[in-house]
Amino acid sequence: MLFCALVLGPLIAGLAGFDKASAQSEPSAQSQSQTQSQAQSPSTSTGGDQAGLLRVTGARVAGDAVRTRFVIDLSDQIGIAISGLADPYRLILDLPEVAFDLDPAAGKEGRGLVTAWRYGLFAPGKSRMVIDLSEPARVDKTFVLPAVDDQPARMVIDLVKSTRSDFLAFAETSRASLAQGKGAPKGDKLSGGDGNRPVIVIDPGHGGLDTGAEGVGGTLEKAVVLDFASILKRKLEETGRYTIHLTREDDTFVALGKRVNLARDLGADLFVSIHADSVIRGRSLARGATVYTLSDTASDDLAGELAQSENMSDIIAGVELHDETEEVTDILIDLARRETRTFSGYFAHVLVEELKSAVKLIGNPHRSAGFRVLKAHDIPSVLVELGYLSNEQDEKLLISDEWRERMATAMVEAIETFFRPRLEGQGG
């Protein structure tokens, strides 16, 4: 059965935007307790005044594998657009920007046709809930219950088992309907550097409803890496020798491909992706910083597992996946790719040497794997794991102002070494 995207209930006009002050303020001035408070509160916005925002106050799953009901409690009626994505099977619920007043554990367990669900800010003015399905399902019916007495308004979505062919048809028509409704994004003209200064793009991983790893003490990767990236940006700008851009400056989601394209549009001379991952299966003792470069074959099992985990970011956020086949028959592109990997490897070596005297590194700190975010064929790129949130000692360091300043200073020194021949050639 074919069915298209559903736009349900009246849209609430005049929603106030999130105050991003906490994400955009100078991280070095934050106290450790403030950082932990941000990181341990994924169900709310990034901070500031939430007055005027409609609120999601509850969500739950009921039913069985034949018919499953998903219920959302709301402070008022709201418009929700429902679409589908396959491989894996997911339902995407797009909402106006809302505040999620939910338990941090909400969505980790499913029931019936729903295996799990997650939520968060997807883009400015837009929130998203992603429902993971155990198998193809069809939206049988939806309805809205208005608020009555002390009962909140409720959005009810009933799901029933379907077939793969029907789900694929729904996914295609629903995504097409959404695209037609909002128009294809044109993209803004971007400005890189001033023509002389090297352009560096710093990429804080994850963001929005993709929280990344969670520390043993509840610290979220998306908050830690944004704080650190802001510190690194400030320190590089203080040298007066570089033009610095962040792929995100607040708690919003940015697709992996868009991060790479942004760096290319800006004419980046160096791309540095910042992460703070977690390891499982008996490796909880793993700790220390690691520098990764791109490789078709992972240097070791841990590198391969981390690359696989990081490459899941788009799936987590409910982004449509595309086959990104690269044209390798063009000899110029192939040569550029080889040269770029050489420069990436050189910078990784310089960075590891600088970090050795500043922070603890994991054994064999330069590793490689197939990270999608490192695949720009013409930009030297590395991915830096600041440490492991699954390790209690690393987690404490990652939210320490003193450690972050020390780590950022070492990275600035490595970048200075990398660009020194160019800067000296320009008389800089």
Look at residue 73 in the predicted model and tell me its pLDDT.
92
Look at residue 311 in the predicted model and tell me its pLDDT.
81
Q: Measured between alpha carbons, how far is 139 from 410 in angstroms, rounded to an integer?
A: 53
> What is the sign, positive or negative, of the torsion defined by CA atoms of 24, 293, 276, 324?
positive
Name which of 256, 262, 261, 258 is nearest 275 in CA terms.
256
For 397, phi then psi, to 5°, come to -65, -40
Q: Name the E strands within 326-405.
A: 361-369, 381-385
For 30, phi then psi, to 5°, come to -75, 150
Query: Kindly report the CA angle at 206 between 419 and 283, in degrees rounded to 5?
Result: 90
Look at residue 322 in the predicted model and tell me its pLDDT.
62
Which pairing describes strands 6-8 and 80-85: parallel, antiparallel, or unpaired?
Answer: antiparallel
Q: Measured between alpha carbons, how far is 7 from 152 in angstroms, rounded to an integer?
A: 20
Look at residue 147 in the predicted model and tell me its pLDDT.
80
Report pLDDT digits (tens) over 269-300. Answer: 999 999 998 876 555 578 899 999 998 888 88
Total residues belonging to the chain? 428
Look at residue 31 in the predicted model and tell me its pLDDT.
38
Report pLDDT digits (tens) over 321-362. Answer: 765 545 444 555 566 677 788 999 999 999 999 999 889 999
Q: Measured between alpha carbons, how far is 63 from 66 in angstroms, rounded to an integer?
A: 8
Torsion, Cα 204 175 74 146, to 10 degrees, reads 170
**Low-confidence stretches of the chain (pLDDT beneath 70):** 1-51, 181-195, 280-284, 322-336, 425-428
Query: Kindly report the CA angle at 303 between 302 and 305, in degrees rounded to 5?
Result: 65
Which class for 106: exposed (0-12), middle (13-18), buried (19 or more C-beta within 10 A)? Answer: middle
> What is the sign, positive or negative, of the torsion defined by CA atoms of 329, 333, 336, 342?
negative
What are the structural domains, with CATH classification, of the chain? Answer: 6-21+44-182 (2.60.40.3500), 199-425 (3.40.630.40)
Q: Measured between alpha carbons, how far is 318 from 315 in angstroms, rounded to an integer?
A: 5
Look at residue 181 in the predicted model and tell me its pLDDT.
64
Q: Measured between alpha carbons, how far is 387 from 391 in angstroms, rounded to an integer?
A: 8
Sheet holding 270-275, edge to edge: 243-246, 199-204, 270-275, 381-385, 289-294, 361-369
Asked, as a colleague might, if the bond just before 88 is cis with ω within 30 of 0, I would say: yes
Which class for 166: exposed (0-12), middle (13-18), buried (19 or more C-beta within 10 A)? Answer: middle
Which residues, 6+ apart, have CB-to-CB distance to 410 below 8 Å? 354, 355, 357, 358, 359
